[in-house]
Amino acid sequence: MVRVLLEAAHFFAERQARVYLVGGSLRDLLLGEVCVDWDLVTDGGAHKLARQLANRLGGSYVYLHEKASRVVLHSPASAGEQVLDIAPLHGGSLEEDLRARDFTLNALAAPLGDVVQFLNGSPGEMETLLIDPLHGYRDLRDRRLRTVDDEVFRHDPLRMLRALRLAQRYKLTIAPETENLIQRDAALLPRVAAERIHQELYAMLGMPGALEQLHSLDAYGLLTVLIPELQPARGMRQPPPHYWDVLEHSLQSVGALEELAGALEAEPGTPFVPRLASTAAAAEDLAELRELLSEGERQNIFHFADLRAPRMKLAALLHDIGKPLTYSTDEQGDIHFYGHPQLGAPVASEIMHRLSASTQDRRLAQLVAAHHMRPGQLGQDGAVTPRAIRRYFVDLGPTGILVALFSLADHLATLGPQPRPPAWPRHLSVVRLLLASYIRERAKILPPRLVRPDELMNRLKLQPGPLVGQLLEAIAEAQADGTIHSREEAILFAREYVQTKEQASQ
């Protein structure tokens, strides 16, 4: 990339336009981070110069908005894309431009030509090149995040989310005065366009340590500004074996999901922590799950990236969103949340919609909320039947893998630091059975349809309606159970099914 920056520096010098490396790219360079996005400001005509530079470098020109244009260089696959974002100076001078930024460690600049000389091995320290009117380098060196002024969040409330993301990403301490500003301005966050909130929230949750991020959001008053439906869950007690209240349990489930995903994605033979492998049987089931999920990846029906994705972490956060709506106590004072999965599913979907999530992401949150208890319940009544397994995957498809794995994280978050009871190994064995059935015996539990709906209606003289769907489902279950094997057997089975229903109605 040094060659590209050198060519860019020569290009601007030829046109007698001053150009500076600024913002996040300069910050990352000073921190020794890998950088592929370079932020430049110039006192020339930024858009015209960017288009000419793209032609000079053999890259693509992209108009972003009135404040910036982009040059994209398509490098070999091993190097990936390189990006130059070129903007005009904000205000009448470079100092005005820097003072209009968000945080002091982003309010740094250095002449591009000097930076290139430094990268080429010129003697001296990088900090001697800096234009630093707000002492951002000192804050960067001290790993301190500080706003450039007291109005930063009022100008753009999204910067509050960015502050927490940067603090997590670069292990920064937020300055006390900046903390006070976040708490002061937290209520302004809903003014931001949902698409921008979505992008920043997903960037936060896409990093490891999502539980810590969510705790930070809550500590600064931002979590329930974003998702006010969580506020009634704060302090809402739960019956044993729950260790946490409803809100903290919801947060902890995200951390448990990350922990479980990391353990299952580790190399074969990597030992499991005692919290997960409480018995020899539990360790065996976890090892088998690890192998099953690897097979699922090879079949392209499961991806570990999906288990760690921001949308999955949000679905985990919202899985019990129906509990505040269904809280009740009986005559003995016992707490109940009857029907909370069913009532919570549409609420989770609506919250995701408000956060500008895609239809696919909304559907995931809905399915997790509606079915997160189902795998655990399957193991409570003895052996899990093939019919129950089939119905589970008919309802959920491959998303059933994610829901089953989340049910384990939910179990971990339910118990908190308490010892693992016998229910944990049993729950693991049920999830292992579910995944083995779908990944290794999918054709058996979801066999190809023996008869088409139109053929069924013609042979039995039926009109379109719910009965046809009931017949197809009954045939599929009998086929999965091994009761029927051919089209004619399916037609006979359906005929007997209809006759039985008619006799029952008489």
User: Which regions of the chain carry the CATH code 3.30.460.10?
Assistant: 1-135
**Within the chain, what is the greatest distance between any pair of CA atoms?**
97
> pTM score, two decimals?
0.89
Q: Is 274 helix (H, G, I), strand (E, B) or coil?
A: coil
d(CA 33, CA 183): 30
Q: What is the mean pLDDT of each run of 10 residues along the chain (506 residues)?
A: 88 94 93 89 91 93 89 73 91 92 97 90 80 96 97 98 97 98 97 97 96 97 98 97 97 98 95 93 96 97 97 98 97 96 98 97 98 92 86 94 98 92 92 97 86 88 88 83 84 87 77
Smallest CA-to-CA distance from 368 within 456, 309, 426 is with 309
Is there a contact between 288 and 281 (Cβ–Cβ < 8 Å)? no
Strands (E), 238-301: none
C-alpha span between 482 and 485 (Å, rounded) = 7
Which of 244, 264, 235, 249 is closest to 401 using CA atoms? 264
Which residues, other chains included, contact 423 with Cβ-Cβ below 8 Å and sequence gap of 6+?
A: 376, 411
Pick the CATH number of 143-226 from 2.60.40.10, 3.90.1150.10, 1.10.443.10, 1.10.110.30: 1.10.110.30
**Nearest-CA neighbor of 216 among 243, 246, 245, 254?**
254
CA distances from 333 to 149, 237, 244, 320, 327 (A): 52, 12, 18, 21, 12
Instruction: State whether residue 38 is helix, strand or coil.
Output: strand
Architecture of domain 1-135: 2-Layer Sandwich (3.30)
pLDDT at residue 76, as a whole number: 64
- In sign, the C-alpha dihedral spanning 323, 328, 334, 340 is negative
Residues of the chain with CATH 1.10.110.30: 143-226
| 260 class by beta-carbon count within 10 Å (0-12 exposed, 13-18 middle, 19+ buried) | buried
